[in-house]
Structure 1
Amino acid sequence: MELKTLDIFCEIIDNYGDIGVVYRVAKELKKVFFNSKIRVFLNRLDEFKKINSSVIDSGIQTIDSIEYITFDYLRENSKDLSTSQVIIEAFGCKIPEEYMAIAYDHSDLLINLEYLSAEDWIEDFHLQSSPLGQGKLKKFFFMPGFTEKSGGIIADSNYLERAKKVAMNKKEYRDKYLADIENIDNKIVGTLFSYEKNFIPLIEDLQKFDKEVVLLALGEKTQDSLRKILKNFSIEHFRNSLKYGKIEIRFLEFLNQEEYEELINLVDFNFVRGEDSFIRAVLTGKPYMWHIYCQEEFAHLDKIEGFLDKYRKVIQEFADDEFLDNMEKFFKDYNFRKENNLELGKESYLYFFENLAKIERYNTIFRDFLIQKCNLINKLKIFIEKY
């Protein structure tokens, strides 16, 4: 298929992850299909405005040659808006009926872009078709994952170029984000982005660590968690930062998508949450920890197990069993919870911080494998062109 038109639909619920993925995919597909018309349809704009300061309160607007349209505008003007050849339905969202009524007979391909998963079953489900029961439109499932047989991960060129730029101009980006950290070369600096979490074990273990550590706390849930658990500690307060022994905690204001990507490529380690931030952290090649979204009956731990299995398979010829066992235990302990709250966990952080260089060496191997073999954008391009 020679792609001329592409529409992406995203229904934002209560977080930045969905729009973060869709925004990233749209930008990259515009680079790949630069002569194609690409539109993104969103149920609301609040979260999009947070991650891109160019967004305004308008039913229809163009940003970087991509048209962004609200569901309300679509419904009000459905008779004047044609459908596209290819439709991407992000995360099984409900596309407005006014659009689908036309698309069944006038569009060719509907791709259901699912959430990232590391579980084995997605390889069999990837690119399977699903009958729609009417018209010529065909639907296929696209399953992102960490293997060559899955849909891969979003290793977009915009991000990779940004990471390379940070690596080659470290002083420039230090001046931009970390200029007021004294004696920074003798300190460990990392980001902390989580759901509700009791970080007392982290604070206690970092006091035993042989270096000073600066934690850059991102997001309301992370910052609120830290404030609540530290209220009984002997903390020194400095405007938007706290000092406790060897540890300095800085509360950062919201960063847009580009700023966040620059920061995580600049620091020494990243603790992240959700899907989009996790993949960004994986692609830094730096040490990371993933706070996965909590699900009933510990279903989220199955996803952790799946990821660790894929990670082990890629690096096991380079890493020893002690390393792999310690990292797997850390991932599982960090995420062992029935719900997101401030219940005290059992994880230990010392092995992680004492082996940052080793972790980065192996994480870089895993990152390079994903970029070369599991690039979602490349896989999506090939599937569309072959259809």
Structure 2
Amino acid sequence: MRVTWDIFCNVVDNYGDIGVAWRLARGLAREHGLAVRLWVDDLRTFHRIWPAIDPLAAGQTSEGVAICAWHTPFVATEPARVVIEAFGCALPEAYLEAMARQSPPPVWINLEYLSAETWVAGHHGLPSPHARLPLTKYFFFPGYTADTGGLPAESGLMARREAFLERSAPGFWRDLQIGAPQADELRVSLFAYENPALSALLDAWAVDARPVTCLVPEGRIIPQLAAWLGVPSLQAGAVHQRGRLRLRILPFTDQDAYDQLLWACDLNFVRGEDSCVRAQWAARPLVWQAYPQADEAHWNKLDALLTLYTVGLDPAAACAVSGMWRHWNAMPDADGVAARWATWRARRAAIEHHAQAWCERLAGAGSLTEKLVEFAEKKLK
């Protein structure tokens, strides 16, 4: 009999939570042949990253995954053998009670946010007994080292990327109604939260010695871009030129097309968890904006990833990468963004080479999907 899995996702941070949960659900169904139900409390946001989803349907199937609307009060449902609570979303009380009535109880896993911090390995896999019910929850931490829960990555991802770059990239640019890149042109994707450093960065690009094309999927950064341009609003398809900078607004796209954008661009500005991981798998230089937290707690996460990411870079290139990341995250920095950008430009070749090498190193952490399945199977025995 197929082992059943339930994944619960409460959409909190726009697309990051559902992005990770959906990749996981697809991987479990496609690569491991598991019966997976994905419970989501905001199907409209889900629809943005996967347009095949009907935001009004109580139940539907996509990519072999049963998609269920998570409503309150929660409908009576027989729990799966493995239950994933994505990012501490708190399971419905009625579902927890049903879990407690099963013998043996389901394997209950709290999938935590990804972090490169050193404490993650020590907390990965730890049990947490429920205060009232005969249930135990296990904390599962994705991470960048082999002693953590690994990274989201579907099988064949690298082969798909290489095939795209070899055969499909010219057609990708044509579909966007953008010509092939010029020899000295830098193409940048920009997916970001609101950011006070944005105007200074755009100013630096506008006076760059070489042309910069910035491709911006519709999202939270659009009002800031419009204000910088001095226009009332921006819509998908809009193109604006200022100095050496050409800005083009793209329609919000699904996960697979966003991967292609990351593969095709020379530099990717990404935010949160899902797009950060995908940018690393793209083997392209990136600048990460961590999800802002109170008391700048996200700075620790940023520094932890920088510490790992810059291993093997020469000091000047490491300084260029760190400077851009830290400035983009409003960390204390004596230099302005123009100086940071000039330093990054000067070390671009080394940074590009490192991005490819880093992508190859990521495989050492293992696959999140495979490690979750292995963990659950051991607990089911």
TM exceeds 0.5? yes
* Structure showing greater relative contact order (alpha-carbon pairs closer than 8 Å, 6 or more residues apart): 1
Q: Which residue of 2 aligns with 1:286?
A: 284
Which of the numbers 69, 78, 85 marks the counterpart of 1:82? 78
Local SS of the residue matching 1:249: strand
Q: Distance in 2 between matches of 1:33 and 1:238?
A: 38
Q: Which residue of 2 aligns with 1:341?
A: none
Structure 2 segments unaligned to the other structure (5+ residues): none
- The range that moved more, 366-375 or 239-248, is 366-375
Q: Which residue of 2 aligns with 1:376?
A: 368
Asked if structure 2 preserves the Cα contact closer than 8 Å seen for 1:146 and 1:153, the reply is: yes
Output the TM-score relative to the length of structure 1.
Answer: 0.88
Asked if structure 1 preserves the Cα contact closer than 8 Å seen for 2:280 and 2:359, the reply is: yes
Local SS of the residue matching 1:127: coil
Post-superposition offset of 1:18: 0.6
Q: Distance in 2 between matches of 1:380 and 1:42?
A: 20
Post-superposition offset of 1:29: 0.9
1:346-361 aligned at under 5 Å gives the runs 346-347=336-337, 348-361=340-353
Post-superposition offset of 1:12: 0.9
Local SS of the residue matching 2:220: helix
Q: Distance in 2 between matches of 1:373 and 1:47?
A: 30
Q: Which residue of 1 aligns with 2:264?
A: 266
Which of the numbers 111, 114, 130 marks the counterpart of 1:116? 114
Asked if structure 1 preserves the Cα contact closer than 8 Å seen for 2:170 and 2:180, the reply is: no
Post-superposition offset of 1:187: 1.8
Is 1:231 paired with 2:225?
A: no
1:128-277 aligned at under 5 Å gives the runs 128-133=126-131, 137-157=135-155, 159-169=157-167, 170-177=169-176, 179-181=177-179, 184-197=182-195, 198-231=197-230, 240-277=238-275
Q: Distance in 2 between matches of 1:267 and 1:330?
A: 18
Q: Distance in 2 between matches of 1:267 and 1:220?
A: 18
Local SS of the residue matching 2:275: helix
1:36-47 aligned at under 5 Å gives the runs 36-47=34-45
Post-superposition offset of 1:162: 3.6
Q: Which amino acid aligns with 2:336?
A: K
Asked if structure 2 preserves the Cα contact closer than 8 Å seen for 1:6 and 1:85, the reply is: yes
Q: Distance in 2 between matches of 1:182 and 1:164?
A: 18
Asked if structure 1 preserves the Cα contact closer than 8 Å seen for 2:145 and 2:364, the reply is: no
Asked if structure 2 preserves the Cα contact closer than 8 Å seen for 1:187 and 1:213, the reply is: yes
Asked if structure 2 preserves the Cα contact closer than 8 Å seen for 1:274 and 1:293, the reply is: yes
Deviations 1:281-312 (CA, angstroms, capped at 9, x unpaired): 11111011011111222211111111111223
Output the TM-score relative to the length of structure 2.
Answer: 0.89
Deviations 1:174-203 (CA, angstroms, capped at 9, x unpaired): 3223x4336634421110111112423223
Q: Which amino acid aligns with 1:69?
A: C
Local SS of the residue matching 1:366: helix
Post-superposition offset of 1:161: 4.5
Q: Which amino acid aligns with 2:42?
A: R
- The range that moved more, 323-332 or 237-246, is 237-246
Deviations 1:37-76 (CA, angstroms, capped at 9, x unpaired): 1101111211111111111111111112210111228823
Q: Which residue of 2 aligns with 1:321?
A: 315
Q: Distance in 2 between matches of 1:24 and 1:74?
A: 27
Asked if structure 1 preserves the Cα contact closer than 8 Å seen for 2:285 and 2:351, the reply is: yes
Structure 1 segments unaligned to the other structure (5+ residues): 339-344
Q: Which residue of 2 aligns with 1:309?
A: 307
Q: Distance in 2 between matches of 1:31 and 1:208?
A: 47
Is 1:386 paired with 2:374?
A: no
Q: Which residue of 2 aligns with 1:363?
A: 355
Asked if structure 1 preserves the Cα contact closer than 8 Å seen for 2:100 and 2:133, the reply is: yes
